[in-house]
Amino acid sequence: MFASLLGAWLGLATFTGAASNPDSAGKLSRFEFVATHMGSSFKILLYSTDAATARRASRLAFDRIAALDATLSDYQPESELSRLALKAGGPAVPVSADLFDILERSKQFHARTEGVFDVTIAPVGRLWRRARRDHKLPDPQKLAEARALVGSDKLLLDSRNRTVQLTRPGMRLDVGGIAKGYASQAAIDVLRSQGITRALVGGAGDIVVAGPPPDAAGWTIAIAGLNPSEAGPETYILLKNAAISTSGDAERFVIIAGHRYSHIINPVTGMGVEDRASVTVVAPDGGTADALETSVYLLGPERGLKLIETMPGTAALYVRSTPDGIRTFESSRFKQIPRTKPKAVAGRPGSGNSTVAPGTQPVLENAIGQR
């Protein structure tokens, strides 16, 4: 999970920011900022000619993420999403533009992914949270009752009036499969509105990048392998003006009666996935990358990569554990993404244009793990 890796490599930056050569005769300097939102550390890297502009832009970007958290959280009882759940089984409810947009996009992804992307999974997800804590499978009767509440056909949207209706009492929504990527994209959009054109925003396993660092072809992204705690990244790619998300079960899983269940739940079966895999998706925007990485994970390499090939601007890497060893599958566009190597840089971590990545000695522009 990328969130747990952040502490190992974010360096010395805090919300107040850390900079390399700030305010040096109008030249672009690198600034780093970190804040906690949506239960994860969000990192902003940006280039600006002065510290005041960097601080102002980063604060506005973090404010945007915080506002989305207050809207989309399924943990906060006062969030708009939680308040919507209290109206389940009742009439349609007017909602904010942000909540409607993310639910509308979620319904679209549900239709594109054979139903495996489903934000109505929340009742089943809550049972599996307890199962991971208690190391005990969900009660079959309770699981059946929860599954009866799942299905995006029970989530009705009215775009003209911007209303949402949850048709069954007890329904709840969980937008965790798209929220962090969506928020990272929103933060990048804020930075661009403030004149910041070279930036990166990363939260959990989701990264969105604008223009590249000065004198670089792109941001160096190190993609964690199937077992990131045992070996450093083997794949390094260059990205600009794009988003990337990785999902896997390396850290979030539970073993019950000899079976290893991922935190990723199949909404069709209501069960945690037992297949060991890691999926990375590159897409034009953060919400798309976030939604597709879990969807491709659930669809498997054949159907998942077939879906990716039909979506312009998207690419995917699928790494799977099989009885014959680890197999890697790449979409056609992923093969076209420029590869690079880790950059070893003299000096302390966080200096110059680099940050220390976990499990490696070289210093990198950035790294992505699993969530």
Question: pLDDT tens digit string along 15-54?
Answer: 335 555 544 446 999 999 999 999 899 999 999 999 999 9
The predicted model gives 224-240 an average pLDDT of: 81
- Tell me, rounded to whole angstroms, the distance of Cα 173 from its chain centroid: 17
Q: What are 124-150's pLDDT values in tens digits? A: 999 999 998 999 999 999 999 999 999
Q: Given this chain, do its domains 2-72+178-368 and 80-166 carry the same CATH topology?
A: no
Topology of domain 80-166, CATH: T-fold (1.10.3980)
Where do the structural domains in the chain lie, given as residue ranges?
2-72+178-368, 80-166
Q: What is the pLDDT of residue 349?
A: 33
The upper half-sphere exposure of residue 336, i.e. CA atoms within 13 Å in the direction of its Cβ, equals: 8
The predicted model gives 212-219 an average pLDDT of: 94
Percent of the chain whose pLDDT exceeds 70 = 84
The band of 205, judged by pLDDT with boundaries at 50, 70 and 90, is: confident
**Separation CA 288–CA 301 (nearest Å):** 18
Q: What are 258-281's pLDDT values in tens digits? A: 888 888 899 989 999 888 889 999
Which own/partner contact pairs does 336-341 have at CB distance under 8 Å and 24+ positions apart?
337/237, 337/238, 337/239, 337/282, 338/217, 338/218, 338/237, 338/238, 339/235, 339/236, 339/237, 339/238, 340/218, 340/220, 340/236, 340/237, 340/238, 341/236
The region of weakest confidence among 82-86, 313-317, 324-328 is: 324-328
The CATH number of 2-72+178-368, from 3.40.190.10, 1.10.287.130, 3.10.520.10, 3.40.50.720, is 3.10.520.10
What is the average pLDDT score of the chain? 86
Q: What is the pLDDT of residue 45?
A: 97
